[in-house]
Amino acid sequence: MLAFARETKLSETTFVQAPGQVCADYRNRIWTPAGEIPFAGHPSLGTAVAVARRREESLAAYVQQTGAGLQPLEVEADGDRAHASMIQSEAELGAEVAPAAAMAAVGLEDGDAHPGLAPRVVSTGLPHLIAPVAAQEALGRCAPDYEAIEALLAPLGAFNLHLVWADAEAGVARMRGFMREGGEDPATGSAAGPVCGYLGERLGMPGLRLEITQGVEMGRPSLLHAELVDGGVRVSGTVIPIIDGVTSF
């Protein structure tokens, strides 16, 4: 599986297996080119659509088993694309980080940090360091230092550093994600849930809904919807199949 993930050179590659728990429909093992991770958002949505296509189901509800537990998913096909949603766990808020350290790791100044929202490790299945910025334009000035990002994230047990600007009242957010192993991620579903959960808790908005854009600066724009619901965070988006293949030996 690791060799295959390295060959694809994609952010994540998933492998669908028989479930190990009776209440799950399938097991989803998720790999980056560096190794297996317990949970991820986009690979969960995409895999659910792939399963529905394989089973020829245009409307489906599944429970996937991952290293982070069980997650319910729903799929609705619409021609050559599908809409998928999942319920991530409630956001767990971990350690706070000095704003200056988070900003320095991506080439920004201390004053670019949001004055009222400290960088913090947040997880709905995979820990990310969420670092809010005061102004959206700061996202365009990032110059990530991946050695500094690795040094910052490793002691925290966090996988990625995500800078986020949000207008919670308007329900919109913009995000950039820098991976600990190097490189920028154009879309991170496992960070959309933590961003929504963190902002909802800190801003006192238990019903917060966000439309989150990411990857714009890379020329690979993505769009996700995140919503706080009872028991967790619903994360949803559009999935478009690109390639089907068959392996024969």
Class of domain 2-86: alpha beta
Confidence of residue 67 (pLDDT cuts 50, 70, 90): very high
Confidence of residue 3 (pLDDT cuts 50, 70, 90): very high
pLDDT at 11 over 90: no
CATH number belonging to domain 92-235: 3.10.310.10
Q: Which two tokens stand for residue 44?
A: 């969960």
Q: Which residue has the tokens 């959206």?
A: 136
Answer yes or no: same fold for 2-86 and 92-235: yes
* Encoded amino acid at 158, one letter: A
Q: Which residue has the tokens 């429909």?
A: 25
The bridge status of strand 26-32 relative to strand 59-66 is: parallel
Distance CA 169, CA 163 (A): 19
Q: Is residue 1 within 8 Å of 35, Cβ to Cβ?
A: no
The bridge status of strand 209-214 relative to strand 69-78 is: unpaired
The bridge status of strand 172-179 relative to strand 222-229 is: unpaired
Confidence of residue 246 (pLDDT cuts 50, 70, 90): confident
Catalytic hit among 12, 74, 184, 227: 12
| pLDDT at residue 245, as a whole number | 85
Surface-to-core class of residue 244, CB atoms within 10 Å of its CB (0-12 exposed, 13-18 middle, 19+ buried)? exposed
Q: Give the list of residues 6+ apart from residue 85 with CB closer than 8 angstroms, or none.
A: 45, 73, 74, 234, 235, 236, 237
| pLDDT at residue 247, as a whole number | 78
pLDDT digits (tens, 9 = 90+) for 201-220: 999 999 999 999 999 999 99
12 included as an active-site residue: yes
| pLDDT at residue 91, as a whole number | 97
Q: Give the list of residues 6+ apart from residue 8 with CB closer than 8 angstroms, or none.
A: 33
Rounded to 5°, the CA angle 176-177-178 comes to 125
Domain boundaries in the chain?
2-86, 92-235
Q: Give the list of residues 6+ apart from residue 164 with CB closer than 8 angstroms, or none.
A: 130, 131, 132, 133, 173, 174, 175, 195
Strands (DSSP E) along 138-181, which ranges?
A: 160-167, 172-179
pLDDT digits (tens, 9 = 90+) for 129-186: 999 999 999 999 999 999 999 999 999 999 999 999 999 999 999 999 999 888 999 9
Q: Which two tokens stand for residue 3?
A: 């060799």
